[in-house]
Structure 1
Amino acid sequence: MAGIKALISLSFGGAIGLMFLMLGCALPVYDKYWPLFLLFFYILAPIPYCISRRIVEDTDSASNACKELALFLTTGIVVSAFGLPIIFARADVIAWGACALVLTGNVVIFATILGFFLVFGTNDDFSWQQW
């Protein structure tokens, strides 16, 4: 039952994060849809870590080159996702209020992705590796 509650709360967090992203795009004050490019970053962020989890046999070791590279690439994707709305706002492509809404959505979405890997990343009975 704890897995179902975690899944529901993660779904709620993802919906709230996407709501902030959509508000930053679709409010009549802002009315620019450039921040929707961040959806690519949301999709790309967990991919390096998932690939390294499949390749590496022993994930309990203190240092592993594949795992460290995956964390580096994931960090680059996350930092880019936070930098893109700021660059859009500085170039006057979007308004600063839209940038604040999009950055709030980024925090919620990436916290949800992190929560997913913390909850379902263990090798217990209810794991994401079964899927």
Structure 2
Amino acid sequence: MAMAGLRTIIILSFILAIGFLLVILSSALYKNFLPLLVVATYVLAPIPNWICGRWSTSDDFMDSGSGGGGVVELGRFFTGFLVVMGVALPVVLAHCDLIRIEAMVMSIIGGLLIYGTIISFGLFFHQEEEF
């Protein structure tokens, strides 16, 4: 079982490296740093979900039944906003002729690989707390 976990970590790390390589190449090949902004949005995207998830954890003794759904939904909204911004930002930059279409495609694919890997790492290491 430990070997399967190690294999998963190695595969996810390889995919993350490919995502970063695509985003860096989209900047380096066309001598424009603007596609690197996508990395910031995809790295920051899971943070609102994580913060709001921690905020809304309920105590077993003081459970009111609501579970903090409003806070969790707010975190999902901000996460969704950042993910959509990570895709839309290169499209807008390419539309304004600030970056090339090839850089836009490489930046979007690389950004989605980065975000997908971050989410996969989170799901892989997520543990249910049982008492």
TM-score by length of 2: 0.82
CA spacing shift, 1:53–1:5, aligned 2, 3 Å:
farther
Which of 81, 85, 88 is the equivalent residue of 1:80?
Answer: 85
Match for residue 20 of structure 1? 22
Larger radius of gyration: 2
1:105 aligns with 2:110: yes
Distance 2:7 2:128 in 1: 18
Match for residue 6 of structure 2? 4
1:37 aligns with 2:46: no
- Structure 1, unaligned stretches of length 5 or more? 125-131
TM-score by length of 1: 0.82
Aligned residue-pair number: 120
Distance 1:62 1:13 in 2: 35
Distance 1:9 1:64 in 2: 34
Distance 1:24 1:68 in 2: 34
Which of 118, 121, 126 is the equivalent residue of 2:123?
Answer: 118
Counterpart of 1:64, as a letter, is G
- Structure 2, unaligned stretches of length 5 or more? 59-65
Deviation at 1:63, TM superposition (A): 7.4
Counterpart of 1:38, as a letter, is V
CA RMSD of aligned residues (A): 1.9
Percent identity over the alignment? 36
Which of 88, 95, 98 is the equivalent residue of 1:90?
Answer: 95
